[in-house]
Amino acid sequence: MVQFRVKAPGMTVASVSNAFCVAEISLYGGQVLSFRPKGRTEVLFLSVESSFERGKAIRGGIPVCWPWFGPHPENPALPQHGLLRLTTWILAEVRETDDHTAITLECLSTPETRALWPHDFKVSLAIIAGKDLTLRLTSTNTGTAPFTVTDALHTYLAVADIGAVSVSGLENVRYTDTADRAAEKTQSGALRVTGETDRVYHGEEACILYDSAASRTITVEKKRFPDTIVWNPWIERSRALKDFGDLDYKKMLCIESGAAAGHRIRLDPSMSITQELKIRIGC
């Protein structure tokens, strides 16, 4: 079943309920806010301090960073993480099957987006919610000139206690340590978070988050996302974020699927790319 309600002025949210899960998706931002498999606890972190105001990003769930990840490479006045998480998407399709609910949202270039990023595009996001959660992000160049993008599905995973979390799958992978002067490093052993963590791992590997305080694993698999970005703001940055509780860093870890600066995607006119994220829960 899919129901629509207004969560805040100009903010429609789709609530999905089927035999396998419940989920919530905001048309503003094209953002999955919640995913809870039947009989399990919430998989995604959503800040209770998040604003639901147009022009501001929703803090949590799975923000869509497009057509750039991070700060704009030339113009710092442009929004961090691109335009689409600040845009209301169009509902293109709702399809319910025996084992999932699929909702497809679309975002097309407009005079407003062209004023900030001078290209024509169509981006669609297929969200398939069942016992797993799959997102398929399709980017199409609908214009007459090539363009390049960086992007990410900026997934906020909910954890019971960050101090009892480890992430496998990144062993021996090279990463750029954004929190340490962008130094180039190599992951040794499983990743554990003991301070501000902001790393771009250069690889397609799947990751498994072990949330031992909740006795569960969350597996993040991806296709055509050449980077994995891991972020926890820790104490000082949590205090500095207005839409994030001072202690929220204990309850979340971002494992983001992206194509960051080192892996820009070029799309010639009429070209498309489909990138995929799958989140699976284990015990």
Look at residues 91, 81, 97, 102 and name the one whose alpha carbon lies nearest to residue 155: 81
Q: Does 198 sit near ligand TA6 (CB under 6 A)? A: yes
Number of neighbours of residue 134 by Cβ within 10 angstroms: 17
Q: Does 231 sit near ligand TA6 (CB under 6 A)? A: yes
**What pairs with residue 216 in β-bridges?**
211
| Residues in 166-185 at the binding interface with ligand TA6, rule: CB under 6 A | 178
The H-or-E segment that residue 140 falls in is strand 133-141
Least Å from the CB of residue 39 to ligand TA6: 30
Least Å from the CB of residue 198 to ligand TA6: 5
Contact pattern for ligand TA6 over residues 250 through 279, marking x by CB under 6 A: ----x-x-----------------------
How far is the C-alpha of 205 from the C-alpha of 220, rounded, in Å?
9
Is 49 tagged catalytic? no
Q: Does 80 sit near ligand TA6 (CB under 6 A)? A: yes
Number of neighbours of residue 186 by Cβ within 10 angstroms: 11
Least Å from the CB of residue 68 to ligand TA6: 11
Q: Does 199 sit near ligand TA6 (CB under 6 A)? A: no
Look-up of token digits 């919530």: 24
Q: Does 89 sit near ligand TA6 (CB under 6 A)? A: no
CA atoms within 13 A on the CB side of 245: 11
Among 51, 70, 122, 219, binds ligand TA6 (CB under 6 A): 70
Q: Does 64 sit near ligand TA6 (CB under 6 A)? A: no
First CA to last CA distance, the chain = 27
Is 254 or 267 the residue whose CB approaches ligand TA6 more closely?
A: 254
List the structure tokens of 175. 């990463």
Q: Does 57 sit near ligand TA6 (CB under 6 A)? A: yes
**Active-site residue (options: 81, 100, 119, 256):** 256
Residue nearest ligand TA6 by beta-carbon distance: 231
Quote helix, strand, coil % in the chain, to nearest 5. Answer: 10, 50, 40
Is 256 tagged catalytic? yes
Dihedral in degrees, nearest 10, Cα atoms 201, 282, 29, 136: 80
Which residues of this protein are in contact with ligand TA6, per CB under 6 A?
A: 57, 70, 80-81, 178, 198, 229, 231, 254, 256
Report, as residue numbers or ranges, the catalytic residues.
154, 256
